[in-house]
């Protein structure tokens, strides 16, 4: 299996010496030597997609270009490792085990966008990830690698939506860390009113890999529309839960086999992209892991947290009700449509009224607030209600 983001054989945390021995920070040096235009061109040519929890896989290059296009000279860059959505573990794993890869990607972004201040926004209840981030900044600083960029490690706010990008800006400005109305997007008006790149930690590790290995090497892996590899958190009814790196386009069944999932006939459903993704039936597990293939099935790659449910452990109605209850508790509650929409959906499921549940989920689907959280709940519920025999219409 090709690995671009991690070294499976690495024991403990990869320190600066180990990372440099593998070519680490040579990409940053090249970026600083060849300049912003070249860096932006490489990022755009590589076609890397954002790996954040929104799951839409927006091209990283487009996001960087929007910040670069601003006439405001003062910019900020933020690595998002808040990983606030339930189940996902990949970003804190990266920070705990391979923090220099995220930091190098962040410094390359700072160089490309002319930012002098950078933030590593790290899940606040993960001491391993926070220690990894702090150690990496200290090591890179002592080695003179920061290049005049001030890097602050900031623990994330303790909310289920703290990883949403405007919530991060809110928290970095000393507020509670709640999602804000959009537009404007952070690339236009972000931290302290300045253009700000908020980029997921795994995405930044992919940028570091790109500048370490080159565009051709990265594009040789994955698919034409989803180049490279991705980290997946696999959990639930599997023998070897954990974080796995596989190329985009790998069949989901192959990833499940790596994690020791039960045979198909024992599987009830699989969530491919976190709790807010459409559940897949056992006969759909050969789907290639790309944004497009999962969207075509009415599901999503989401935060690439794969959850396996076994028939012997739950019935589908129970699973759907419990998952929606979990998601409803994650809503920060500041938007009435999201709060009441979750409550109404849950009430309908508890009453066993699939028709009303469908209606409620359809209302939630098109967004009822400041962030995409309710859309995830709706995607999950609608696909379960439409595609599984347990909810067949009379
Ligand atoms: S849509 Fe829901 S989760 Fe998002 S900010 Fe509004 S209340 Fe919070």
Residues 282 and 324 in one domain: no
The predicted pLDDT at position 319 comes to 95
Residue nearest to ligand 1 atom 8, measured at CA: 332
For residue 118, report the distance from its CA to the centre of ligand 1, in Å: 27
Q: Could you tell which of 182, 369, 372, 375 is best to mutate to test the pocket of ligand 1, judged by most ligand atoms within 8 Å of the CB?
A: 369
- In this structure, the answer to whether residues 175 and 199 fall within a common structural domain is yes
Distance 172 CA to ligand 1 centre (A): 19
**Residue 156 Cα to ligand 1 middle (Å):** 17
Q: Is residue 4 part of a domain?
A: no
Same domain, 24 and 119: yes
Q: Kindly give the number of the ligand 1 atom that is closest to the alpha carbon of 338.
A: 2
User: 332 alpha carbon to ligand 1 midpoint, in Å?
Assistant: 5
pLDDT of residue 142: 98
Co-location of 259 and 360 in the same domain: no
Cβ distance 60 to 49 under 8 Å? yes
What confidence score (pLDDT) does residue 86 get?
84
CATH for 253: 3.10.20.600
Please report whether residue 11 resides in a domain. no
Phi-psi region of 203 (alpha: psi -120 to 50; beta: other; left: phi over 0): alpha
Q: Please tell me the residue having the least CA distance from ligand 1 atom 1.
A: 369
Per-residue pLDDT at 89: 96
Residues 242, 161 share a domain: no
Domain-embedded: residue 355: yes
Whether residue 49 is contained in a domain is answered as yes
The reply to whether 225 falls in a domain is no
**Are residue 162 and residue 296 in the same domain, yes or no?**
no
Same domain, 31 and 151: yes
CATH number of the domain that 21 lies in?
3.40.50.11540
308, 256 Cβ separation under 8 angstroms: yes
**Within a domain: residue 3?**
no
Are 265 and 214 within one domain?
Answer: no
Q: 360 — phi, psi (to 5°)?
A: -65, -40
Residues 95 and 206 in one domain: yes
pLDDT < 70 stretches in the chain: 53-55, 367-368, 392-394
Q: What's the 151 CA to ligand 1 centre distance in angstroms?
A: 29
Q: Is residue 62 part of a domain?
A: yes
The CATH number of the domain where 360 resides is what? 1.20.1440
Q: Which domain holds residue 137?
A: 16-219
Q: Give the N- to C-terminal CA distance of the chain in Å, as an integer.
A: 46
Give 181-188 contacts, CB < 8 A, sequence gap 24+.
181/370, 182/370, 185/66, 187/63, 187/66, 187/67, 187/70, 188/66, 188/70
Q: How far apart are the CA of 53 and the centre of ligand 1, in A?
A: 15
Per-residue confidence (pLDDT) for residue 237, from 0 to 100: 97
Task: Determine what percent of the chain falls in helix, strand and coil, rounding each to the nearest 5.
Answer: 45, 15, 40
At which of 219, 251, 285 does a domain end? 219
Q: Are residues 22 and 64 in the same domain?
A: yes
Which pLDDT does position 4 carry in this prediction? 96
Atom of ligand 1 nearest to the CA of 368: 1
The residue from 219, 250, 269 where one domain ends is: 219
Domain assignment present for residue 10? The answer is: no
Q: Domains in the chain: how many in total?
A: 3
* Residues lining ligand 1, Cβ inside 6 A: 161, 179, 331-335, 338-339, 369-371, 373-374
Residues 355 and 238 reside in one and the same domain: no
Q: Can you tell me which atom of ligand 1 is nearest the CA of 160?
A: 3
Asked whether residue 122 falls in the same domain as residue 35, the answer is yes
Mutational pocket test of ligand 1: of 167, 374, 375, 378, the residue with most ligand atoms within 8 Å of the beta carbon = 374
CA-179 nearest atom, ligand 1:
5
> Which of 260, 275, 308 finishes a domain?
308
């Amino acid at each position: 299996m090709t690995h671009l983001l991690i070294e499976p054989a690495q024991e403990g945390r990869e320190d600066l010496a180990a990372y440099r021995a593998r070519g680490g920070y040579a990409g940053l040096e090249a970026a600083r030597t060849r300049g912003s235009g070249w860096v932006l061109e490489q990022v755009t040519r590589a076609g890397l997609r954002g790996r954040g929890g929104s799951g839409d896989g927006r091209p990283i290059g487009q996001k960087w270009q929007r910040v670069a296009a601003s006439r405001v000279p003062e910019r900020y860059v933020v690595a998002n490792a808040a990983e606030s959505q339930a189940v996902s573990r990949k970003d804190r794993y990266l920070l705990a085990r391979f923090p220099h890869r995220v930091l190098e990607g962040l410094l390359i972004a700072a160089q490309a966008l002319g930012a002098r201040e950078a933030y590593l926004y790290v899940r606040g209840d993960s001491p391993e990830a926070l220690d990894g981030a702090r150690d990496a900044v200290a090591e890179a600083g002592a080695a003179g690698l920061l290049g005049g960029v001030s890097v602050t490690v900031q623990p994330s706010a303790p909310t289920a939506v703290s990883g949403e990008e405007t919530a991060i800006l809110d928290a970095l400005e000393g507020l509670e860390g709640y999602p804000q109305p959009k537009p404007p997007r952070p690339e236009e008006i972000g931290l302290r009113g300045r253009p700000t790149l908020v980029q997921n930690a795994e995405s930044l590790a992919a940028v570091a890999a790109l500048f370490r290995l080159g565009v051709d090497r990265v594009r040789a892996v994955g698919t034409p529309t989803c180049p490279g590899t991705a980290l997946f958190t696999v959990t639930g009814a599997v023998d070897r839960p954990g974080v796995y790196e596989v190329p985009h386009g790998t069949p989901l069944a192959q990833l499940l086999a790596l994690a020791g999932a039960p045979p198909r006939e024992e599987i009830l459903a699989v969530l491919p992209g976190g709790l807010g993704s459409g559940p897949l039936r056992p006969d759909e597990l050969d789907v290639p892991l790309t944004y497009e293939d999962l969207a075509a099935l009415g599901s999503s790659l989401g935060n690439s947290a794969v959850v396996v449910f076994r028939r012997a452990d739950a019935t589908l109605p129970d699973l759907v009700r419990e998952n929606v209850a979990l998601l409803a508790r994650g809503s920060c509650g500041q938007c009435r449509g999201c709060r009441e929409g979750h409550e109404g959906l849950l009430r309908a499921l508890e009453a066993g009224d699939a028709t009303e549940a469908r209606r409620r989920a359809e209302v939630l689907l098109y967004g009822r607030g400041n962030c995409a959280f309710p859309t995830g709940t709706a995607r999950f519920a609608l696909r379960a209600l439409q595609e599984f025999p347990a909810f067949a219409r009379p």
